[in-house]
Amino acid sequence: MKRDLDLIRRILLDIETPGEGATHHSGFGHLVATGHDPEAIQYHVQLMHDAGLIVADELVPGQWWPERITWSGHEFLDLARDDARWERAKRNIDDQVGSAPFQVVRDLLARSVGEQLAAPARTRKK
């Protein structure tokens, strides 16, 4: 199965902001409803755990449950949260190399934030 950075970003956003009225992440039904394969979701939760983006438990073989986002996960999410920045980074990678390691994506997003912060105040997004 291929790693899907869009799905990883979506899962992080969902863990960070649980559904209305929830006190903890309440599941992935909405991701399944929008066309994501349940096995792909579980695989990506495990990948995110392995990469240190989240802490997750394997409830039964092959079924992972996210407990919380780690410091590294929050750092990545802060870089990837803005939709325009995320799409621009993905487009740059697709146009220039097709795919890239996670660290390269993270570095590209960080450079974009740095450039945005260095820009004159009148050109910054508010």
Residues 56 and 106 reside in one and the same domain: no
Residues 42 and 87 reside in one and the same domain: no
Work out the angle at residue 15's Cα, subtended by the Cα atoms of residues 60 and 115, and round it to the nearest 5 degrees.
135
| 61 part of a folded domain | yes
pLDDT at 27 over 90: no
Percent of the residues in the chain that have a pLDDT greater than 90, as a whole number: 62
Q: What is the pLDDT of residues 32-53, one digit of tens each?
A: 778 888 899 999 999 999 999 9
- Give me the domain span that covers residue 109: 82-123
| 117 part of a folded domain | yes
CA 16 to each of CA 70, 95, 125: distance values in angstroms, whole numbers, following the listed order? 11, 30, 23
Domain tally, the chain: 2
pLDDT at 113 over 70: yes
Residues 66 and 88 reside in one and the same domain: no
| 60 part of a folded domain | yes
The span from the CA of 33 to the CA of 27, in Å, is 12
Which of 29, 48, 70 is the last residue before a domain boundary? 70
Query: What is the four-CA torsion angle of 60, 63, 69, 71, rounded to 10 degrees?
Result: 80
- H/E stretch holding 69 reads strand 63-69
Q: Identify the pLDDT of residue 71.
A: 97
Residues 46 and 15 reside in one and the same domain: yes
pTM beyond 0.85, yes or no: no
pLDDT at 60 over 60: yes
